[in-house]
Amino acid sequence: MRLLVIGAGATGGYFGGRLAEAGRDVTFLVRPSRAERLRATGLRIISPHGDVTLWPRLVTPDELNTPFDAVLLTVKAFSLEASLKDFAPAVGPDTMILPVLNGMKHVDILTQRFGAPSVAGCVCKVAASLDEDGRIHQLAKFQSLIYGEMDNVQSPRIKELDAFMQGSGFDAKLSTDIASEMWNKWTFLAALGGITCLMRGTIGDIEAVPGGVDFAQRFLDEVVSIVRHVGVAPTDAFLTDIRSSLTAKGSPQTSSMYRDLQHGSRIEADQIIGDLLARGQKAKLETPLLAAAYAHLSVYQNRLVTPQ
């Protein structure tokens, strides 16, 4: 199997790098500037699972001219539309696109552009960041890719992908209900992102103040109320786990959106919070905390476009 990884940032660089380290046939589609740096310094991963420097196969958008068996799409959700033209030559009649973007809106966009048969479901779980020198830092030990056909069929191609992923230095799982996995991740990210960004603190910071636990619980309740109406409802066991995670005493946990906000970077507010809010409003649900979080993040986004 030949895999094209779109992007060599924190997520794509990490999983693609581990696959390349394990000897898999991996190529990275990157911008010319990123290609120049990687050719000069290598793809460098700093991780509790072991540091590594790799010299992977690279291709820029102008050089891409052949289909791949699978495409691992790791761009930020706000960069999806711009990336479609770049990787389109890699999508042939039998190519499987594996997007690890947040939310669910990207599934509609990819399906419209490439057709439903081309789009599989995929969820990644990793905490990683890219430093000023282009190195990938894994911030916590968890690292997994979960994937499956959107119709849950155990197709030959998804079984081939599973064999490709196994034994590559991270947890790989073939799911029989990938839509549930994707909605669960969105539920968690929307709650974690909204809670930490609106309160501008870690989970431990929020838990420690008067009303902090109640706020976190109410925010999660609003998110879940929407998901139950428009998506795949989470199980009781899943909700018990994330309630505990979102109210843990002394927890240093934050969301990637909060970390991006702190660094003055672009954020995925529209895809993680805004799209969920819009689906809830369409279902005529009242979610004032979610609306407040989206308004708060929209002010930040607007200032990035028009500095004050």
Which residue numbers are catalytic? 185
Neighbouring-strand partners of residue 119:
97
Task: Report how far residue 129's alpha carbon sits from residue 249's, in angstroms, rounded to the nearest whole number.
Answer: 25
Contact yes or no for 147/120 (Cβ under 8 A): yes
CA-only gyration radius of the chain, Å? 19
Closest CA to 194 of 73, 76, 285, 102: 102
User: What's the number of CA atoms in the CB half-sphere (13 Å) around residue 226?
Assistant: 31
Assigned token pair, 51: 């540091």
Residues in Cβ contact with 295 at an 8 Å cutoff, skipping those fewer than 6 apart: none
Gap between the Cα atoms of 76 and 32, Å rounded: 18
